[in-house]
């Protein structure tokens, strides 16, 4: 394969390579030891070395070098694992490049032509690989070339798809091409000589909508924080809008909440994202949501087929989906007939003989001695082969697990799961409590506390229960029992009636398929309990705080048994999934589960709820719940338009309904009514909660429209929910949901709503809501929720930083945006070598530290925002500035540190600015080992070198020295009053660097000659001050200074070139003899203080004016915003081209 040209100094270092072919400009070499039949010792050693190296360090056995006659440097331009591959490249070079190389006279031109050609071949290969994944490779290749040409983004900015469309500017449409890449939306138009370009990062998109206006019936509106853009006239608007939503959603989850939201492994690697991958991912997410499968399941096959349904006495047409561990079938009409078969339940998959009535049949046999027949399968053989391979692998895995489990049980102590005790000395009551803590329940809590529920012991309730049980038994006989039962509209009606107490736990486990987890993870929960109990963390502290708030009115949680079981389940889950840990409302859900199923089953059911059925609900920011609240608001506007018209701002209703979603109505409904809602949730998923929420609002729509404020709306909904009753409660407990509570005779009679009526009403009016619609809405609203969190992060960061700086709030907001964009640019196009801290948005850090930049990113911002650049010396100064700001030495700086630095440059007075410059030229900013990237050389000078001053001014200078000494004394007194820590003294090397920086700062100024003269004068004064101080220290310490040396030499004037600091090396050598005559072998290096340098600078008004001249930060920020993106992109293009 072609390689980015890499220099090689020795063509055959250590004789590791053997030249096979060569000419004047190219060499084809073979690795010694590869292909040698003689078996020489050198070849064997090299072969052994290549064998033991890992795959990353292993060297290809063949390579091609480009050489320039007369040069010791060669370039590796191609390599290969096989001689056929490298010979193909060699032939191409001889045929296409070699004839044209003789025309070059310059070696640099020759090597530049060859390396450029090879890089072009690599880029063409990359385009070809991307294009090969598309339906029309040639068309996509052309679009990719246009995309790179028009926008100049790095090659790592992967184009996903492109479409012809119109972009509207006011009422004027511009026809062009819309390019959708992994990080950006880009549009290009060229009509009538006018070119239009726009690039919008997905990270800035706050909303994507399909809208209708007076101009067009169907448009896509892309909203950012600054403006809105409209696109129309797509050939397939539905497809384009879906891809845009996916790309924006993926980018925001990857950039803004990486690690916090579930994101498929494929999507975490942007280079692998294609249009086909997005289509597959959309289908996969739909399948996972429809059948509520584990999030890690991969979708393998999708096939149209028909399944024999015994209850209907016919074949039902639909789609078969196969994943790692499941076969799932859905009828053409979503929800009409659903079948879920775990592979762990399958015994065999057989192909039957095909007939005209039963084409391509497949028979699946399951452990419950049932068989399922599928017909009309396309590509039946491939599908059955793939299923058989996965089935055998799963059966082998389960058999090995069972053998391992049996071995562990035979060696383990048959005592309780664990024996940890919190206290060494316990009273009898405490011992009982400790025993309860350490005893895992093997039955549901409701079994032990059934007698405490009066409503469940009445004859009426018993007869109702028996009637429900009889209906369910009949259903099992006809539709099957277990996970692989047929799920039809009939079972929906049974669930709406309320599942009988005796079957509730079993059916919850069946509907969620948590029972498969229990079977495949035997003893897993026991091990978790043993490992987690006694372990202290923030999650366990929160769990302990909430234990007694979980269904406090239920008898099961008014004693130690229920509390201990709840503690174990929640603590075990926090130990299993530390990313979630513990979140409020998990305690309420776990409490309900423990009432109806045994403890281990409750744990796995909680896993199913948190990780599958309510994804992203239970994290630190409850993003999933907020997304569903946003979806709920849109459903209200769509399904209840009159209510939405009377209440334009639906956020108060959304706040009220948040607990409905987080606790599945358990916290707002009477308990026996709430468990009926939980029944519907386990059968229908989150769709049931949406439907029921809409039904509750519709039932109270008139009152809500008439309510004067949010508090009244809350009271209306709370009162309505409090008076929803189960059929069993209406006759036994008419006005109270709590056992033993006596109704107030003086209170007016309150009408009750039966929960079954409300559920049936929700199915009848809102049952057409589909899983596909919910998933599509979630994708769009997740963008809004994440951006709202970003706005909150920014507001809090600015609130923290604003008191510490004098920058206006508007400018500080712009600084934050530039800082954040720089962080994102590195994520877009970085080479992956950045630190882990920059690759993830750490939401656990303080607001001002959530976005950080490294040294390279800071240098980019420095060039954009620094008021004084230093020409070729800018990179050096930026390097030192970063070192100074990086106080915790983690090679990262935060927004607070960056804003403080910028505030010093733009808002502080002269003294603070000079102090910052001084600190940049002493440790730790300036180090002894600093590599000087600037081409400016550092001349070595002596402090005793004669100062060149005009003739006749020696006495005047001596008088001036006395004035400077007095000034320094005054400054020293003022410094004592300063609370800041005194700055270290500056030595000779550091002073040279300080002068170089000042000189570089004035290089591009209009009045640079005056500034150069001023800095030369100041430098002379500082050197003179240092000389005086040094001589004083010499005499005070008894070290004699040489006599007879005249410190002042006549001269005609002082210029930049005459000044010792800026003199060249050649001038230094010419004066070496003169310089040495003034050096004393015993004297030490002189030093200079900040106060002395400041005093010297204050003597030159030109310098004072320069540092005090106001700089318009607003204009600088506006310019930086325009330049930042494309300059950084261009820089990265150059870096990638030279890498």
**pLDDT tens-digit series, residues 745-780:** 333 334 688 999 999 999 999 999 999 999 999 999
Judged by average pLDDT, the poorest of 883-897, 917-931, 1100-1114 is 917-931
Structure token digits, residue 1002: 């004035």
Residue ranges of alpha helices (H) inside 586-670 are 586-596, 599-608, 623-639, 641-646, 651-663
pLDDT bracket for residue 963 (50, 70, 90): low
In degrees and rounded to multiples of 5, residue 103 shows phi and psi of -80, -10
DSSP 765-815: HHTT--HHHHHHHHHHHHHHHHHHHHHHHHHHHHHHHGGG--S-HHHHHHH
Residue 864: per-residue pLDDT: 92
Structure token digits, residue 316: 């039902």
pTM for the model = 0.77
Of 336, 335, 326, 339, nearest in space to 685 by CA: 335
DSSP label at residue 1085? P
Percent of the chain clearing pLDDT 90 (strictly above): 40
Mean pLDDT in residue range 25-43? 69
Beta partners for 853?
893
Specify burial of residue 1057 (Cβ count, 10 A radius: 0-12, 13-18, 19+): exposed
- Residue written as token pair 């090659």: 155
Residue 883: per-residue pLDDT: 93
In degrees and rounded to multiples of 5, residue 275 shows phi and psi of -60, -40
Residue 107: per-residue pLDDT: 81
Residue 697: per-residue pLDDT: 95
Q: What residues contact 454, with CB distance under 8 A and at least 6 apart?
A: 732, 733, 739, 740
DSSP label at residue 869? -
Residue 96: per-residue pLDDT: 82
Mean pLDDT in residue range 377-382? 89
Q: pLDDT digits over 686-720, tens only? A: 999 999 999 999 999 999 999 888 889 999 999 99
Q: pLDDT digits over 164-218, tens only? A: 999 988 888 889 999 999 999 999 998 877 889 999 999 999 999 998 876 677 8
Residue 145: per-residue pLDDT: 84
Structure token digits, residue 88: 């193909």
Percent of the chain clearing pLDDT 70 (strictly above): 76
Specify burial of residue 668 (Cβ count, 10 A radius: 0-12, 13-18, 19+): buried
pLDDT bracket for residue 590 (50, 70, 90): very high
Find the radius of gyration of the CA atoms of the chain: 39
| Whether the predicted pLDDT of 1068 surpasses 60 | no
d(CA 827, CA 912) in angstroms, rounded, equals: 35
Residue 76 near residue 86 (C-beta atoms within 8 A): no
Q: Going by DSSP bridges, is the β-strand pair 362-366/184-191 parallel, antiparallel, or unpaired? A: unpaired
- Given phi > 0 = left and psi -120 to 50 = alpha, else beta, which region is 170? left
Residue 327 near residue 320 (C-beta atoms within 8 A): yes
- Between residues 1057 and 821, the one the model is more confident about: 821
d(CA 65, CA 111) in angstroms, rounded, equals: 11
Mean pLDDT in residue range 937-958? 40
Residue 699 near residue 729 (C-beta atoms within 8 A): no
| Whether the predicted pLDDT of 969 surpasses 60 | yes
Residue 967: per-residue pLDDT: 61
Q: pLDDT digits over 420-453, tens only? A: 323 333 444 455 455 555 567 777 887 776 655 5
Mean pLDDT in residue range 855-881? 91
Q: pLDDT digits over 471-523, tens only? A: 999 999 999 999 999 999 999 999 999 999 999 999 999 999 999 889 888 88
- Between residues 45 and 1082, the one the model is more confident about: 45
Q: pLDDT digits over 979-988, tens only? A: 456 888 988 8
Residue 863 near residue 878 (C-beta atoms within 8 A): yes
Residue 417: per-residue pLDDT: 38
- The three-point CA angle 352-354-355 to 5° equals 130
In degrees and rounded to multiples of 5, residue 43 shows phi and psi of -65, -40
């Amino acid at each position: 394969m072609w390689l980015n040209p890499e220099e090689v100094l020795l063509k055959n270092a250590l004789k590791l390579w053997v030249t096979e072919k060569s000419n004047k400009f190219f060499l084809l070499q073979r690795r010694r030891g590869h292909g040698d039949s003689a078996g020489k010792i050198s070849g064997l050693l090299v072969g052994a070395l290549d064998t033991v190296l890992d795959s990353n360090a292993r060297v290809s056995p063949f390579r091609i070098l480009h050489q320039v006659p007369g040069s010791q440097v060669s370039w590796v331009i191609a390599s290969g694992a096989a001689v056929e591959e490298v010979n193909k490249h060699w032939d191409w070079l001889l045929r296409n490049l070699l004839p044209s190389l003789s025309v070059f006279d310059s070696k640099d031109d020759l090597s530049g032509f060859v390396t450029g050609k090879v890089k072009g071949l690599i880029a063409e290969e990359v385009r070809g690989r991307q294009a090969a994944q598309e339906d029309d490779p040639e068309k996509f290749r052309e679009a990719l070339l246009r995309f790179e040409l028009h926008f100049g983004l790095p090659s790592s900015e992967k184009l996903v798809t492109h479409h012809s469309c119109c972009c509207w500017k006011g009422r004027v449409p511009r026809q062009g091409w819309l390019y959708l890449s992994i990080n950006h939306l880009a549009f290009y138009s060229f009509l009538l000589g006018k070119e239009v370009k726009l690039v919008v990062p997905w990270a800035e998109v706050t909303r994507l909508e399909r809208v209708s206006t007076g101009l067009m019936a169907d448009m896509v509106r892309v909203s950012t924080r600054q403006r809105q853009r409209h696109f129309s006239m797509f050939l397939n608007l539905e497809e384009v809008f879906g891809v845009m939503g996916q790309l924006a959603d993926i980018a925001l989850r990857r950039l803004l909440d990486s690690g916090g939201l579930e994101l498929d492994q494929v999507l975490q690697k942007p280079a692998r994202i294609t249009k086909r991958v997005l289509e597959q991912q959309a289908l996969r997410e739909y399948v996972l949501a429809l059948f509520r499968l584990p999030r890690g399941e991969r979708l393998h096959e999708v096939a149209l087929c028909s399944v024999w349904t015994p209850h209907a006495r016919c074949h039902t047409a639909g789609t078969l989906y196969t994943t790692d561990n499941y076969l799932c079938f859905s009828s053409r009409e979503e929800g009409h007939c659903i079948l879920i078969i775990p592979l762990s339940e399958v015994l065999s998959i057989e192909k039957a003989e095909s007939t005209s009535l039963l084409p391509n049949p497949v028979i699946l046999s399951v452990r419950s001695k049932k068989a399922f027949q599928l017909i009309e399968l396309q590509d039946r053989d491939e599908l059955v082969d793939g299923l058989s391979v996965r089935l055998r692998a799963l059966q082998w895995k389960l058999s090995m697990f069972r053998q391992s489990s049996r071995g562990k049980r035979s060696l383990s102590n048959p005592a309780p799961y664990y024996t940890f005790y919190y206290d060494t000395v316990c009273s009898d009551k405490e011992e009982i409590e400790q025993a309860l803590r350490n005893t895992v329940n093997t039955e549901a809590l409701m079994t032990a506390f059934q007698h405490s529920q009066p409503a469940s012991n009445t004859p009426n309730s018993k007869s109702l229960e028996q009637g429900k049980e009889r209906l369910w038994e009949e259903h099992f006989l006809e539709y099957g029992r277990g996970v692989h039962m047929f799920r039809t509209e009939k079972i929906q009606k049974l669930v709406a009636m309320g599942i009988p107490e005796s079957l509730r736990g079993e059916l919850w486990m069946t509907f969620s398929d948590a029972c498969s987890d229990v079977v495949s993870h035997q003893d897993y929960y026991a091990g978790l309990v043993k490992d987690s109990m006694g372990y202290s963390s923030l999650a366990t502290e929160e769990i302990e705080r909430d234990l007694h708030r979980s269904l406090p009115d239920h008898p099961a949680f008014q004693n130690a048994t229920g509390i201990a079981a709840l503690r174990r389940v929640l603590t075990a889950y926090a130990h299993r999934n530390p990313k979630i840990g513990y979140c409020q409302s998990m305690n309420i859900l776990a409490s309900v589960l423990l009432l109806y199923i045994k403890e281990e089953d409750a744990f796995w059911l909680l896993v199913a709820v948190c990780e599958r059925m309510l994804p992203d609900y239970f994290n630190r920011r409850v993003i999933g719940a907020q997304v569903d609240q946003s979806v709920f608001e849109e459903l209200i506007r769509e399904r209840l338009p009159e209510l939405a018209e009377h209440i334009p701002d639906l956020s108060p209703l959304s706040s009220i309904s948040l607990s409905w979603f987080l606790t599945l109505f358990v916290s707002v409904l009477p308990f026996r009514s709430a468990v009926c809602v939980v029944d519907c949730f386990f059968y229908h998923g989150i769709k049931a909660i949406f439907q029921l929420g809409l039904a509750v609002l519709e039932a109270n729509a008139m009152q809500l429209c008439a309510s004067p404020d949010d508090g009244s709306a809350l009271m209306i909904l709370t009162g309505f929910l409090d008076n929803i009753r189960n059929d069993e409660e209406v006759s036994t407990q008419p006005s109270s949901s709590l056992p033993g509570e006596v109704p107030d005779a003086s209170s007016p009679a309150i009408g009750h709503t039966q929960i079954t009526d409300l559920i049936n009403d929700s199915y009848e009016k809102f049952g057409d809501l589909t899983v596909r619609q919910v998933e599509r809405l979630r994708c769009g609203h997740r963008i809004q929720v994440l951006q709202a969190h970003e706005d909150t992060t920014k507001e809090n960061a600015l609130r923290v930083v604003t008191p510490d700086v004098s920058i206006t709030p508007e400018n500080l907001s712009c600084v934050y945006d530039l800082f954040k964009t720089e962080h994102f640019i590195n994520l877009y196009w970085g080479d992956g070598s950045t630190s882990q801290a920059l690759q993830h948005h750490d939401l656990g850090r303080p607001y001002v530290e959530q976005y950080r930049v490294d040294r390279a990113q800071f240098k980019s911002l420095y060039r954009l925002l620094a008021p004084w650049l230093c020409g070729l010396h800018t990179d050096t100064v930026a390097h030192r500035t970063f070192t100074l700001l990086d106080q915790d030495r983690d090679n990262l700086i935060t927004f607070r540190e960056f804003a403080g630095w910028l505030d010093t440059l733009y808002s502080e007075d002269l003294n603070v600015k000079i102090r910052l410059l001084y600190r940049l030229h002493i440790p730790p900013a300036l180090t002894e080992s600093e590599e000087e990237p600037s081409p400016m050389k550092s001349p070595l000078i002596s402090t005793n070198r004669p100062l060149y001053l005009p003739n006749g001014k020696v006495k005047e200078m001596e008088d001036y020295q006395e004035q400077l000494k007095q000034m320094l004394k005054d400054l020293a007194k003022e410094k004592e009053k300063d609370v800041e820590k005194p700055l270290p003294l500056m030595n000779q090397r550091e002073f040279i660097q300080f002068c170089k920086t000042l000189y570089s700062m004035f290089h591009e100024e209009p009045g640079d000659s005056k500034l150069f003269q001023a800095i030369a004068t100041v430098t002379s004064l500082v050197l003179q001050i240092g000389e005086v101080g040094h001589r004083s220290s010499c005499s005070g310490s008894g070290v004699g200074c040489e006599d007879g040396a005249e410190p002042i030499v006549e001269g005609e004037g002082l210029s930049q070139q005459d000044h010792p600091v800026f003199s060249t090396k050649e001038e230094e050598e010419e004066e070496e003899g003169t310089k040495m005559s003034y050096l004393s072998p015993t004297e030490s290096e002189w030093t200079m203080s900040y106060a002395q340098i400041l005093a010297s600078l204050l003597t030159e008004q030109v310098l004072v004016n320069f540092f005090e001249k106001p700089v318009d930060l607003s204009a600088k920020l506006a310019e930086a915003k325009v330049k930042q993106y494309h300059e950084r992109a261009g820089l990265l293009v150059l870096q990638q081209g030279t890498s």
